[in-house]
Structure 1
Amino acid sequence: MASSSKASRAVAPPVPNLAFRRLRGHRSPNEFATVVRRAAREIGEQVSCDARYIGRVESGEIRCPNYAYERVFLHMFPGLALTDMGFTAREQVRGRGARNRAGTVSASGRPPRPPQAPDGAGEPAAHPNHHPCCSLPLGSGAGDSDEESDVLRRAFMTSGSATVAAASLGPGAVSVSVPGRPRVGETEVRAVEEAVRRIRLLDDRHGAAGLYRQAAKPLRAAYALLDAGTTARRSTEERLHAGAGELAISVGWLAHDSGRFEDARSHYAEALATARVAGDPGLEAHAFCNTSFLARDAGRPREAVRTAQAGQRAARQVASPRLLSLLALREAGGWAGLGDRASCEQSLARAHAYFARGASSTDPEWMSFFAEPELEALQAQCWSALGEWSRAARHAQRAATLQDRRFTRNLALYRAELAADLARAGAPDEAAVAGEQVLDLLGEVRSSRIESMLADTAKVLRPHGRTPAVASFLRRRTTPHPA
């Protein structure tokens, strides 16, 4: 009987994916991973593909990629389906179909465990209300709390000697068990890195207001691992520091976008300290970049300039033109806040020169959002701060037109900027139309920053309230939007 039970639980060995190996061709796994990352940036996706991931695919360990990789592979090989690339159909490795094939009750009499995620990295099993962009459950229905947004589950995996137990970004607590002096390994580090990616993907879709408080929980777990754990090798320790620092920045951004400026400042400072301890110039540049952005929004333009300049000094060690471009734009925003038009234009010129060099394999993963729409939007903010409303509106219009509609939060932000600029440029009807387009997105996006921008625009438009377009916008803005 015992042998029968063991046989029923046996796992078939992985079958090598020869079709995918043929698609790689003559390129090395590392070279092919670079091509995958470049293709991801072309469609605004975020993947951290490396030679190890390619090896896992080709060995058959990854039977089906997650949704982000799926979009990238379909973009790389138009006309091919996942099965043509040697992958197993998604319904065969996850969700109800896989559970039915496995049987409803195991040999021990207990319900079977959920199937492993397609990418082998702890992705949740299928959920009736799956997020179409990043395979995360959005909640189970109307009873979900909008503020807490049950959108991030199992951000950390439970395994290894340092156990991050019950780590969830949905309702419920996160507890971290770190008995004695645990050894932190690949499982724990990948869990931290995955939490960062998922937070960013969900912010792109839904904004920060419903995510911030829950996202702080895995951040505490990550720093508990840093404080209490020992790692098997130096490279693992470096990745854990980098992951914890990036997680601090992501949580800081959620606080920033939710109007919690002091919380954001604290998280960014934590990330900067982690970068300095680890000697990580890329993380340091990222922390300074976000600190500069926060300083500008908080009305401290001189600090915005200084921190952007400090970020550029760190970024020179990363050798990423796009990172230097973004930091030059942050500096330009600070100069605009100080009313220094000449310095602002010099920084904008540097930003354009760096941007024109194009994307690079050295670009940090977190910069996937930084494409032409963001370049236009940050210029709009500069001209707005300098009081050149019509010029700002032209840049904001280009940003909104160019933005991929899958990034709902940024699309709402760019249109909110457009509405504000048009209102001050003396085009109230056009501003009202842009404002209503933002309102159309607020059922999907929760951003205190965007809602504050709309409130300011409404104040400017109120004297024009007798015109039909403005009256419609003002009426809709004061009507509670559906959850």
Structure 2
Amino acid sequence: MASGSGESPIWGSARFRQLLADGQVGLALSAVRREMGLSQADLGELLHWDRSHVGRVERGEVDTLFDIRELLRVADVLGVPRAAFLPVLLGTANPWTIEMGCGEGVDDVDRRQFGIAATMTLMGAAAPVTTASGAMLIGTDHVTALRDVTEQLWDHDNRRGGGAITEFALQHLRLARRMLDHGEYGPRTGDALAAATGRLCSCAGWLAHDSGHPEIARWCYTESMLLAEQTGDGEMLAAALGGLTITATDHPRHGREPIRIARRVTELANSVPSPRLKALRLAREAVAHAAIGDHREFTHTMTRVWHELERGFDNPDDPIWLHFVTEAELRVHEARGRKLLGQHTRAADLFRDSIDRAENLPRDEASYRAYFAASLAGLGDSAAAIGAGHGALDLLESQVDSPRLVAELRPVRRAAAGVRGSEAEHFGRRFDALIRAA
């Protein structure tokens, strides 16, 4: 059933979404009913409710619509897209997962459509069902939905960066925690749900890091570690600790903390038959050594990285989140380490060698260009740094959303401030606009 007017349907309005976000589902339903020209008795007949019950539901006197089964039944009967009720679950009036025509750019539409796909997975057949006691009844379909969402998040991040989807990931993580902490399920489903939640935690941790929120990232990784310990999942523990290594290296609290974490990750990775994973863990350990100025251990660990690369990266069982690990990515890790050790010329050469490779995804290309530009600024070559910085901004303005990478260009912005000329001024305006947007 559709709206009788030629205008946009009521469920596409900001007012409708705000009512749902505020928990006033009955009033939102009432607005749909009135727009469709239905009386309370008409709606009751469609839903097999009596008229008085429809009135109580609309006034919020009963919690009928907070049973997800009833909410989705109402949506289907009225012809309202299920995704339009997403604010009830997410508690926000502006989830970009709802498909609306708002004049966005191509990239915004891509991100929104990503959200639709992931959200409908949760809101379709996999939506939690409540028992008579009010608890959510969790089954294998919910676990599958969480795994699918996590895979979609990783795929989107690998291509576009994490800036636009971080809040989306955290909202789904909150939903996963509610299912884990308050749902009803058997032991096997519980273990699978805990593992799926832990992997989503780890993914959300990286996205938070990429969005410039290290404390949230640390919390997510810690949660993932706890769930990995509870389920005995060594691979998940290694992934969470690996993410924590990045956060601890980029935002250190204690001098040798990144080293301790990275070494533990390397130990765990040794039990996983994936040269790609082992190479990544070793590369991160090498950067952690460089961060405290240990040149000898950095060189030794990078040698082990290249030994793993020689074994080949053709393991078909590697998870999607590992697909970004290529030779270029490992060269960038080496370059970051050499930069930390003060070897700026060598670092710049390695960064330069990693850009413009056919296999680079947009997010990786933006990363490498930003690092390269910042390394040139560190060498004092302001003109070259500004030129390279424009190449990074081209991607960050169009295809990639990563506040972390924008921040990497701060040295170039400082260099541009000290240079006269249109290129420097143009870079400054572009950079400042992205900072404001972030």
Matched, 1:263 2:216: yes
Change in Cα spacing, 1:280 to 1:391, as seen in structure 2 (3 Å) is: same
Q: What are the equivalent positions in structure 2 for 1:26-425 lying under 5 Å apart?
A: 140-142=101-103, 150=112, 151-153=114-116, 154-155=118-119, 156-158=121-123, 163-164=127-128, 180=134, 182-232=136-186, 234=188, 236-300=189-253, 302-359=256-313, 360-402=315-357, 404=359, 407-425=361-379
Question: Which residue identity is paired with 2:268?
Answer: A
Question: Which residue identity is paired with 1:141?
Answer: C
Any idea what the Cα deviations from partners look like across 1:375-398, whole Å, max 9, x if unmatched?
Answer: 121111111111111111121122
Distance 1:427 1:385 in 2: 18
Give the CA deviation at 1:319: 2.3
Any idea what the Cα deviations from partners look like across 1:25-83, whole Å, max 9, x if unmatched?
Answer: xxxxxxxxxxxxxxxxxxxxxxxxxxxxxxxxxxxxxxxxxxxxxxxxxxxxxxxxxxx
Distance 1:389 1:358 in 2: 29
Any idea what the Cα deviations from partners look like across 1:248-299, whole Å, max 9, x if unmatched?
Answer: 1111111111111111110000000000000000000000100001101103
1:394 alignment partner, SS class:
helix
Give the CA deviation at 1:472: 4.0
Distance 2:183 2:161 in 1: 33
1:157 alignment partner, SS class:
helix
Distance 2:103 2:224 in 1: 36
Question: Which residue identity is paired with 2:413?
Answer: A
Is contact 2:128-2:136 (8 Å) kept? no
Is contact 1:261-1:294 (8 Å) kept? yes
Is contact 1:178-1:225 (8 Å) kept? no
Give the CA deviation at 1:455: 1.9
Is contact 2:416-2:427 (8 Å) kept? no
Give the CA deviation at 1:180: 4.8
Question: Which residue identity is paired with 2:193?
Answer: L
- TM-score normalised by structure 2 residue count: 0.70
Is contact 2:211-2:404 (8 Å) kept? yes
Is contact 1:383-1:389 (8 Å) kept? yes
Give the CA deviation at 1:195: 1.0
Is contact 1:265-1:291 (8 Å) kept? yes
Give the CA deviation at 1:422: 1.4
Change in Cα spacing, 1:368 to 1:143, as seen in structure 2 (3 Å) is: closer
* Structure ID, larger Rg: 2
2:401 alignment partner, SS class:
coil
Q: Percent identity?
A: 30
RMSD: 3.3
User: What are the ranges of 5 or more consecutive residues in structure 2 without an aligned counterpart?
Assistant: 1-75, 83-96
Distance 1:384 1:472 in 2: 27
Is contact 2:155-2:320 (8 Å) kept? no
Is contact 2:155-2:321 (8 Å) kept? no
Give the CA deviation at 1:191: 0.6
Any idea what the Cα deviations from partners look like across 1:336-356, whole Å, max 9, x if unmatched?
Answer: 110111111111111111122
User: What are the ranges of 5 or more consecutive residues in structure 1 without an aligned counterpart?
Assistant: 1-107, 115-135, 166-175
Distance 1:403 1:378 in 2: 19
Change in Cα spacing, 1:111 to 1:258, as seen in structure 2 (3 Å) is: closer
Change in Cα spacing, 1:356 to 1:451, as seen in structure 2 (3 Å) is: same
Any idea what the Cα deviations from partners look like across 1:204-241, whole Å, max 9, x if unmatched?
Answer: 3332222222221110111222223344562x444322
Is contact 1:242-1:280 (8 Å) kept? yes
1:317 alignment partner, SS class:
coil
Change in Cα spacing, 1:205 to 1:482, as seen in structure 2 (3 Å) is: farther
